[in-house]
Amino acid sequence: MAAPHGGTRVSRRRNRGRRRGRRRTRRPIIVALVIVALVAVAAGGAGTGAFTTAALDRGSSIPIAGDENGVVGLGVSRSVQSNATSRLVTVTNTLDTSTRVTVSLDENARDDADLVVNGATEGDTANVRLAAGKRRSFDVDVAANATRSTLGFDVTATGGGVSVSAPDRSTTIST
């Protein structure tokens, strides 16, 4: 039997109303969380496109810009002189950490030239440690009897979990 003032029925209606209110307040929160998750996924997956790549420790890659403005900037000389020592490439470390830079002459150029760093002949491969924000020039001593008209080389840089490769760079040999 119901209470004379109808308390039991009113009580049930209030409880039902409260339950519905909780559900209504949860829905906007869930919708907001879904929207935030979608925005985060979209922002993380967007790339810039027009760049080459660099390898990271976890097997990922990141975009790097063209030679001068890249993660490791390269200023490649347009030409080098035969029977002389000329600037081949200037490497700029734009990373926030020290980087190990290696310049290697292509196999077909090794008989015609030697790399020179700070006046010291290094041979076919030269390695330097480059502090953050610093640059270093790599010169090349080209033989007078060089048999090729171009000099090919590769540049790699490793530091702070990033490995950048700039293969197949070249310059003209002038006589």
Can you give the residue ranges of every domain in the chain?
1-46, 52-174
| Average pLDDT for the chain | 76
84 vs 151: CA distance, rounded Å: 14
76 phi, psi to nearest 5 deg: -85, 130
The domain defined by 52-174 carries CATH number 2.60.40.10: yes
Strands across the sheet containing 113-117: 72-76, 84-93, 135-142, 113-117, 120-123
- The two tokens of residue 110 are 């090794």
The answer to whether the pTM exceeds 0.85 is no
65 vs 166: CA distance, rounded Å: 11
Query: Which letter, b or e, does each residue of 34-66 get, where b requires 16 or more Cβ atoms within 10 Å of its Cβ?
Result: eeeeeeeeeeeeeeeeebbebeeeeeeeeebee
Q: How far is CA 84 from CA 52, 101, 140, 141, 144, in A?
A: 33, 24, 8, 6, 8
Q: Which of 67-71, 84-88, 130-134, 163-167 has the lowest mean pLDDT?
A: 67-71
Q: Report pLDDT digits (tens) over 102-124.
A: 999 999 888 899 999 999 999 99
Q: Report pLDDT digits (tens) over 44-73.
A: 443 322 224 444 444 444 444 445 556 678
**Residue 95 confidence class, pLDDT cut points 50, 70, 90:** confident
**Residue 31 confidence class, pLDDT cut points 50, 70, 90:** low
The angle at the Cα of 130, spanning 125 to 133, to the nearest 5 degrees, equals: 140
* Res 92 pLDDT > 50: yes
Residue type, 104: S
* Res 20 pLDDT > 80: no
